[in-house]
Structure 1
Amino acid sequence: MNIEQIYKDSNALLEGHFKLSSGNYSKFYLQSAKVLEDPKTAKLLAEALAVEIKKSGIKIDAVCSPALGGLIAGFALATALDVRFIFAERAEGEMTIRRGFEVKKGEKYIICEDIITTGGSALEAAKQVEKDGGEVVAYAALANRGFCQRVGSSLERKDNCKLPLDKPLFALEDFSFEMYSPENCDFKDIAYKPGSRGN
């Protein structure tokens, strides 16, 4: 399965001048929402991701995703794995699990995002699951931005990856684009900000 081509066909691999949630800049941007707006494509990608997870033999009881970006990917993955799905969301700036969702003690979770960059939001969601008594056994995403090392990839983990070393990351593809800090970027004044946080 050519994941990069699927992103291109969905107009989800954007080229231009982008300001990222991290505050850095890039000439490329992955807009997974465009891929996931087609339920058939979302199902196809989630099933491929589920195959990789099942191969590992890891037991999964539930999927948790950070809102908003991870919701569709997480729900599709939970469907493919035939497990329960919940999500974490920000309330007053802090990631929380609300809406009556219950994390059962000892329940094994995979944290799923649409895209893993440094893994900051995924780690926040994981901490909430663990605080409530669940066990996070792995992380997953449709796409990995190349900062964290995924299962089956030769890319090395970067220093700014926030995911724990002892938990595997499953993803369908690595997308490694050069990023520029604000002081090293020559197009920051006209940058488009497409991220879900609007920054």
Structure 2
Amino acid sequence: MNLEQIYKDCEALLEGHFLLSSGKHSKFYLQSAKVLEYPKKAQELCDELAKIISQYSIEFDSICSPALGGLLAGYELARSCNKRFIFTERVNGEMTLRRGFEVKKNEKFIICEDIITTGGSALESAKIIENLGGKVVAFAALANRGFCAVKNLNTKSKENAKLPNDIPLFTLGNFDFEIYDNDKCPLCDQGSTAIKPGSRGN
């Protein structure tokens, strides 16, 4: 599966000056919503991700995603695996579990995102699951931006990766774009302003 070509075909690989959810800047942005707006394409991608996970004999009961970006990917992965799906969301800047969702003691979860950058949001969701008595057995995403180690791609973690190395991450591919701290961004030095995708028509 040529993930980069799929994103290009869906006009989901954007070029400009972007503020990522991690707070860092990049010349490129993966707008997964443009891929997942097509249910058939979302099904194909998550069915493939489910196949990858099954090859590693990961046993799990449920899938949890951080809102908003991970919702469609997580739901589709849960459908493909015939598992329960719940999500966490931010309230006043803090990730929480709401809407009557419950976590059973020792319930095994996969945390699913659309895109993993440093893994910060996924890790926040994982901590909530574990604090409620559940167990996180894996992370999953459509794509990885190159920071975190990916089990099925045999890549290593880089500086700023936040996901634990003892829990596997599975993705369909890597997008290893250069990402900058906001105070060391050459795009800012050139006078442009970072835009957070979802605003200003992006």
Alpha-carbon distance between aligned partners in 2 of 1:124 and 1:19, rounded to the nearest angstrom: 20
Any idea what the Cα deviations from partners look like across 1:50-75, whole Å, max 9, x if unmatched?
Answer: 00111110111000000000000000
Paired AA for residue 170 in structure 1: F
2:22–2:118: 8 Å Cα contact kept in structure 1? Answer: no
Unmatched 5+ residue regions in structure 2? none
Cα distance 1:82–1:177, how it changes in 2: closer, same or farther (>3 A)? same
Cα distance 1:38–1:26, how it changes in 2: closer, same or farther (>3 A)? same
Alpha-carbon distance between aligned partners in 2 of 1:190 and 1:100, rounded to the nearest angstrom: 40
1:21–1:195: 8 Å Cα contact kept in structure 2? Answer: no
**2:196 is matched with which residue?**
193
Cα distance 1:92–1:183, how it changes in 2: closer, same or farther (>3 A)? closer
Q: Secondary structure at the match of 1:142?
A: strand
1:168 aligns with 2:168: yes
Alpha-carbon distance between aligned partners in 1 of 2:13 and 2:97, rounded to the nearest angstrom: 31
Any idea what the Cα deviations from partners look like across 1:120-166, whole Å, max 9, x if unmatched?
Answer: 00000011111111110000000000000111224321121111111
Q: Aligned residue pairs: how many? A: 196
Q: Give structure 1 regions of 4+ aligned residues with deviation exceeding 3 angstroms.
A: none
Paired AA for residue 115 in structure 1: I
Pairwise CA distance, 1:184: 3.2
TM-score of the aligned structures, taking structure 1 as reference length: 0.94
**1:38 is matched with which residue?**
38
1:49–1:170: 8 Å Cα contact kept in structure 2? Answer: yes
Alpha-carbon distance between aligned partners in 2 of 1:19 and 1:83, rounded to the nearest angstrom: 33
**1:58 is matched with which residue?**
58
**2:4 is matched with which residue?**
4
Alpha-carbon distance between aligned partners in 1 of 2:172 and 2:121, rounded to the nearest angstrom: 19
- How do 1:1-199 residues align onto structure 2 when only pairs under 5 Å count? 1-188=1-188, 189-194=192-197
Any idea what the Cα deviations from partners look like across 1:82-113, whole Å, max 9, x if unmatched?
Answer: 00000011112211111011111111100000
Cα distance 1:160–1:64, how it changes in 2: closer, same or farther (>3 A)? same
Pairwise CA distance, 1:19: 2.2
Question: Over aligned residues, Cα RMSD in angstroms?
Answer: 1.4
TM-score of the aligned structures, taking structure 2 as reference length: 0.92
Unmatched 5+ residue regions in structure 1? none
Identity %: 63
Pairwise CA distance, 1:195: 5.5
Any idea what the Cα deviations from partners look like across 1:24-80, whole Å, max 9, x if unmatched?
Answer: 221111010111000001000000000011111011100000000000000000001
Paired AA for residue 190 in structure 1: T
Pairwise CA distance, 1:193: 1.8
Paired AA for residue 171 in structure 1: T
Alpha-carbon distance between aligned partners in 1 of 2:98 and 2:34, rounded to the nearest angstrom: 27
Cα distance 1:183–1:129, how it changes in 2: closer, same or farther (>3 A)? closer
